[in-house]
Amino acid sequence: MVEIWDNYGLPMVWMILKIIAIVFPIMLSVAYLTLAERKVIGAMHLRKGPNVVGPFGLFQPLADGLKLFLKETIIPSGANRGVFILAPCVTFVLALIAWAVIPFDKGMVLSNINVGILYLFAISSLGVYGILMAGWASNSRYAFLGAMRSAAQMISYEVSMGLIIITVLLCVGSLNLSDIVMAQREMWFIVPLFPMGVIFFVSTLAETNRHPFDLPEAEAELVAGYNVEYSAMTFALFFLGEYANMILMSAMTSVLFLGGWLPPFNAIPFTWIPGPVWFALKIAFCLFIFIWVRATFPRYRYDQLMRLGWKIFLPLSLAAVAIVSGILVAFNLTPNHG
């Protein structure tokens, strides 16, 4: 009995503690990301933003959460019950499990697997299911239209995202996320692969259904798109999942292009600050751009969105794969492996 506890029980408890140590800060940052979004957009609109609940409105996310928690969950009578309830759970779980492979510092990662970037790509490509299921199960025209738009949009932008990830992998020679970060010790990949970094970020905007690509929930035409029939906690799960996905995509951009936990210069005042803080700062920077874009740009028209994905980003990123591999081979820069 003691042996079983030592071999399986103790590692299990230790693992659960580690998972809580990752999930709790993420949920907290999701809550405060909503506040930050309202505050930043408020500042850009010359308004104050939420400032009533608590000092500077700091308790606003908690109040919102409590409100959603206490409301009644309404399930439409025409809905497909099982799938209707499953959809928000899928969205929320997928947004959280991807964090298992994100490295926060050297060796500070829940599961350091060999194919980390593929795992991330796989999980982010599953995000479309939550939305598709929600749209279909709601049995409502607006929700269904939103889900269809979202599915087409996410598939289109995934292709160029995959090709851009390949250009990064060509420079690293490994699919492990820690190796990807360590390969950027000399120079962050945003410098040599500059246009790719920008295209990747724009693709993540489309992948998370954020402005200016938020057609799936365009409030002016589709009311609220796929989540129009959802209320209370089921809606809250969608909301949390969407914001957790934003943070995840920012983390992915930081790991692939902004050097993960590495300081900008390997010199004394920068190396005093620990790695996780640098990583958090980079994520916060990307999130600020997410919000900044929302406050600045109008929504794309649907055919323009598809044109951007298939006729501009896809050829550009395909060309980048050929060009980057050509340069690496020509100048003998390929990372060597046994």
Q: Point out which residues bind other proteins (CB under 8 A).
A: 8, 80, 83, 113-115, 118-119, 121-122, 125-126, 128-129, 132-133, 136, 144, 148, 151, 155, 158, 175, 303, 307, 337-338
Nearer to other proteins, 75 or 306 (CB): 306
Q: What are phi and psi of 106, to 5 degrees?
A: -60, 115
Least Å distance, CB 317 to other proteins, is: 16
Nearer to other proteins, 111 or 296 (CB): 111
Least Å distance, CB 114 to other proteins, is: 5
Give residue for tokens 């939305």: 131
Q: Which two tokens stand for residue 334?
A: 């390929």
Q: Which two tokens stand for residue 184?
A: 């950027």
Nearer to other proteins, 4 or 46 (CB): 4
Q: Which two tokens stand for residue 229?
A: 């029939």
Residues 226-246: b if buried by 16+ CB within 10 A, e if exposed? bbbbbbebbbbbbbbbbbbbb
Please give the full DSSP string across 52-101, using - where no structure is assigned: SSSGGGTTHHHHHHHHHHHSPP---TTS-HHHHHHHHHHHHHHHHHGGGG
User: Is cis: bond before 212, omega within 30 of 0?
Assistant: yes
Nearer to other proteins, 95 or 132 (CB): 132
Least Å distance, CB 84 to other proteins, is: 12
Least Å distance, CB 115 to other proteins, is: 5
Nearer to other proteins, 36 or 126 (CB): 126
- Could you give the CA distance from residue 246 to residue 240 in angstroms, rounded to a whole number? 10
**Burial environment of residue 211 by CB neighbours within 10 A (0 to 12, 13 to 18, 19 or more):** middle
**What's the residue count for the chain?**
338
Nearer to other proteins, 60 or 178 (CB): 178
* Torsion sign, CA atoms 207, 212, 213, 215: positive
Nearer to other proteins, 60 or 208 (CB): 208
Q: Which two tokens stand for residue 192?
A: 């040599």
Nearer to other proteins, 331 or 337 (CB): 337
Least Å distance, CB 295 to other proteins, is: 27
Least Å distance, CB 77 to other proteins, is: 17
Report the candidate in 234, 225, 230, 235 with the shortest Cα–Cα distance to residue 141: 225
Least Å distance, CB 166 to other proteins, is: 12
Least Å distance, CB 212 to other proteins, is: 17
Contact 163, 196 (CB under 8 A): no
Least Å distance, CB 190 to other proteins, is: 25
Nearer to other proteins, 99 or 290 (CB): 99
Contact 262, 275 (CB under 8 A): yes
